[in-house]
Amino acid sequence: MEITASLVKELRERTGAGMMECKKALTENAGNIDAAAEWLRKSGLAKADKKADRVAAEGKIASAQDGGKAVLVEINSETDFVAKDSNFLTFADAVAQAALASGATDVQALKSARLPSGQTIEETRAAVIAKVGENVQVRRMVAINSTNNVAAYVHGGRIGVLVEVAGGDAELARGLAMHVAAMNPPYNKASDVPAEFVAKEKEIELAKMSEKDKSKPADILEKIISGKIAKIVNEVTLYGQPYVLDTNQSVEQVLKAAGAEVVGFKRLAVGEGIEKVVEDYAAEVMKQAGLA
């Protein structure tokens, strides 16, 4: 196969290796760019860290579960295109399985866990970067290990939830995990809502009231405010929200009927908290053409 300049350029951009090294790698591997990237990595010439400062806000939430032991991991890429790449998806699923098997409790510990290939997750991540040509990060993980009912649910690869339920059954736990994925309640029960949050909401509701309402007797005013606050608390708690699988009941009512209680839940969404860089390609082209 002819080693073209464009092929050398593509390999150079993917790996960060020098032009001559890229040409040699392609020659040694009959023009196969994936094999050449792997050859460079084994030779210590591929620079995975070249892409380490690029913003990676796309990606996948992957899960793994064995009974009451379950994990979620967030693996990030720079683009949605790479987030659908088979190399990236295989890596994400392998990381989740390794997280479950290793018992790692944080990402730093997870990075040194070994995959069936014998390589560590960090070593494999560098290889994936060489293959896909983008920054890839193992960003977060959460886990639950319990004798209670535990459900792991991932929606569309972008939102993942772990729920632990005392009582009930696996079907209820899964339904609650789906609810948390859809409704994203900040808190579990009313007792979990911070007093500062309630005080601030009371202040806001009081400011919104008309002077006529404010002039009502103190006990009446307190009932009005308490009713408004109760509604707000229901909106921000799992227990208070209408259950997504039966909106005629609240989650609390569903749990009560099943004799169950949600011990806790964890939710991850791809890219949350990462400031994304919005590229204005039209403006960039105009700038380069001297039109801006």
Looking at residues 164-177, what average pLDDT do you find? 97
Pair (26, 95) in one structural domain: no
Is the residue at 17 inside a domain? yes
So what's the pLDDT on residue 210? Answer: 77
- pLDDT(52) > 90: no
Range of the domain at 39: 5-46
Q: Do strands 69-77 and 58-66 pair parallel, antiparallel, or not at all (unpaired)?
A: antiparallel
Inside any domain, residue 9: yes
Count of the separate structural domains present in the chain: 2
Query: Does a structural domain hold residue 78?
Result: yes
Query: Is 10 in a helix, a strand, or coil?
Result: helix
CATH of the domain at 34: 1.10.8.10
Average pLDDT, the chain: 88
Q: What letter does residue 113 receive in the DSSP assignment?
A: P
pLDDT tens figures, 130-168? 888 888 999 999 999 999 999 999 999 999 999 999 999
Of the ranges 4-13, 66-75, 118-127, which is most confident? 66-75
What is the pLDDT, as a whole number, of residue 55? 67
Place of tokens 């990595």: 41
Looking up residue 113, the CATH number of its domain turns out to be: 3.30.479.20
35: phi then psi, degrees, rounded to nearest 5: -65, -35
Q: How confident is the model at residue 44 (pLDDT cuts 50, 70, 90)?
A: low
**How many residues in the chain?**
292
User: How confident is the model at residue 1, as a pLDDT?
Assistant: 72
* Residue 201 CB contacts under 8 Å (≥ 6 apart), including other chains: 228, 229, 232
Report whether 99 contacts 113 (CB < 8 A). Answer: yes
